[in-house]
Structure 1
Amino acid sequence: MAIIAIAVIVGKSNDDQNDKYNTYTVKSEQTDNFTGVVQADQKHAVSDEPKADDETLASSNVRNGEEVIKGQVLFTFYRNMSSEIASANLEIRQAQLAIQQLNTTTDKNTDYQIELAKDQAVLGDAQDKLNKLTKAQSRTVLAPTAGLYFKDSEGRSFVYGTPIIEGNVNEFSLDKIKKGKSVTVIKNNGDKIKGTYGSKDKIPYNNGAVSYYHFQVNTDETLTYGMHVQIQNKTRGFKIPKTAVKSGDTVYVVKNDKKHRRVLDLTKYDNNYYVKKGIKAGDKLVLF
């Protein structure tokens, strides 16, 4: 009977020891993950094809896959307008001779003024005509933006702008995409780089049962067009309920049935605290 009584007392003592703290078990850090693909922020069609039967490609100044700068001359086209230009030059010369002849008269009367105005108008029209012909004789195609020139297998040419990451998010997670917020970008080889959120759609691109929106992520590292990446929101750290915090920065960790004081660098958000280090998932914190 004495042995049984001792066992009961010891067992009760252990139960009391285990139950004397209300605790919270620290969970793993929560992260928001999205997918994205590297695309150009701009895409402009350019053409090395003549626009008219009498136009020919005079020069091509870019190779497939080459980097270009905005305003760079990509292609030059030429139209043979020598006869039209010669005709315009003849009109200019005749108008100039008429004015010279008119200026030889010494009587600068009203008739003189009228004739001079007519000849000057003819000269001006002929010069305008020559300028238009000269411009039409040569046409250039300029790079509309800085980026990469690429001609596909079907002969279509484009200039692709700066590579950016485009992701998509549903309506329930849209508030997690905040412009300027830091993110971690995980490349397809597992390497991690830093990025920041750029713009996001205000209008969904798909509004079926659930609406979806595009958003952009910018990185300092230039990524390859078409690369698929993972986008991971910067975590706030381990969540700690406010009832586990004493004096603004202190928690008590239960270990071997004893509580141990620990001072942490806490950040408050909503009704909880978060910490990056000093505790780990699985730790039990005393609730007060």
Structure 2
Amino acid sequence: MKNFYDTHKVIAIFMFISFILSIIVFSSIILFNLQSENKEKEYSTIVIDDQPDDIFKGIVSPEKTDNYVLDSSLGELSEINVVNGQEVNQGDTILTYTEMLDNVNIDMTSLSFAIESAKQNFDNANQDLADAKTKDSELRSEFYKVNEDERSEINSKIETNNESLKTAFRAVQSEKLALDQANANFTEAEAKVSQTSKVNVVKAKNSGIAIVSEENKDAAPLIQIVSPNTKIIAQISEFDFERIVVGQKVSVEPINSNQKYFGKVTNISSVPIAKTADSNTTYYEFMVKPDSNIQNGFNVQIHLKKNGYIIPKTAILNNQVKLEKNSEYVTTTVQTEEVNGKIIVKEGLKKGDKIAENFEDIK
């Protein structure tokens, strides 16, 4: 009988131990599944990264182009003084004309009288200036001779006389210019009287490279002087027009190399470019000044960096996202805007941050 009870006791203990082990195994399975589920959620993350750049096509052009056309008022063109591709400095002669003179109507007496009149005005202006200077010296001398009560009145007179000094000085400069011009007119007329022809030259306004239309001298322009400095002319559609502003920084890449340049938007035209027959989209021209010159004529791509980061709508709820920090998710407030159906985070996140792809999955 004792053996019977001992046997049942062993069986009971074995069943109890089996029950406890079953609970442990079952709990382990549930815990494993929960951990697996959490791990899956950890991997359902999005790494915050920059948006793809907006890219626009452009072409490199001279920053400035001076055009010189045939000018019959200077006479007959007698020489083109530069050749195609020549480097030209500011002030270099680029065109020479020969003008036939008609001296019948030149009135030397009037020109001579103009000189005498200008000289008299110049002398008068100098006398006014001298008088103002003398008065200034007298007032300043008197200033140190009187007592403190009288100095205020004299100081006021000095200030009033200073205005007269300034006016007199400007008058001297103006009358000097008038006298110089009268003398120049007389000298020029005197030279014309003794000549039947005159050589007129056209000088380069700015330095650059000459482009000469030698085959057709009636072409407009006859000569172009293009500056060595460059700009980029590009086009932007009406859909992207609001994305650029003057002063905005961009990067520039020639399509024939991997070289990268930087620059700024310098001008955005408010006048649309004429539409082509096969396009209903309106385009506008804008210009970029590169930090360093690019070869004239190169085709380039202009990269405009977008601000903010795109995230899926499932990742945000009430302007909050689940930000991963130290293997945990922290609710973080962000500032966003919706553009073309996409959520753009403006503030609250940075490149490299990780957020949950589905906000509501993280409790």
Same fold (TM over 0.5): yes
SS of alignment partner, residue 242 of structure 2: helix
Deviations 1:219-276 (A, max 9, x none): 121122111111111344655765237xxxxx4258xxx3388xxxxx9675533766
Contact 2:48 2:350 in 1 (8 A): no
Alignment match, 1:232? 303
Determine the structure 1 residue equivalent to 2:204: 143
**Structure 1: runs of 5 or more not aligned:** 97-125, 246-250, 262-266
Q: 1:220 aligns with which of 269, 286, 291?
A: 291
Q: Is the 8 A contact 1:145 1:159 kept in 2?
A: yes
Aligned-partner Cα distance in 2 for 1:29–1:212: 27
Deviations 1:128-147 (A, max 9, x none): 86566769712122324443
Write the deviation string for residues 168-198 of structure 1: whole angstroms up to 9, x where unpaired: 1100111112100111111231111110001
Aligned match for 1:38, one of 40, 60, 67: 60
Larger Rg computed on CA atoms? 2
**TM value normalised by structure 1:** 0.62
The residue correspondences of 1:67-216 to structure 2 (distance < 5 A) are 67-79=87-99, 81=101, 137-152=198-213, 154-155=215-216, 156-161=222-227, 162-187=229-254, 188-207=256-275, 208-216=279-287
SS in 1 for 2:270: coil
**AA aligned opposite 1:226:** G
Q: Which residue of 1 aligns with 2:47?
A: 26
Distance 1:223 1:17 in 2: 54
Q: Is the 8 A contact 2:234 2:286 kept in 1?
A: yes
- How many residues align? The count is 236
Q: Cα distance, 1:26 vs. partner?
A: 2.7
For residues 196 and 245 of structure 2, the distance between their equivalents in structure 1, rounded to whole angstroms, comes to 49
- What TM-score do the two structures reach when normalised by structure 2? 0.51
The C-alpha deviation readout for 1:105-160, integer Å capped at 9, x for no partner, is xxxxxxxxxxxxxxxxxxxxx98865667697121223244432112574542122
Q: What secondary structure does 1:201 align onto?
A: strand
Q: Do the aligned residues in 2 keep the contact of 1:26 with 1:238 (CA within 8 Å)?
A: no
Give distance in 2, aligned partners of 1:244 and 1:277. 15
CA contact (8 A) 1:92 1:127 kept: no
Matched, 1:55 2:76: yes
Letter in 2 for 1:9: I
User: What is the CA–CA distance in structure 2 between the aligned matches of 1:18 and 1:268, rounded to whole Å?
Assistant: 29
Counterpart contact for 1:198–1:217, Cα < 8 Å:
yes
Greater fraction of residues in strand: 1
Deviation at 1:38, TM superposition (A): 0.5
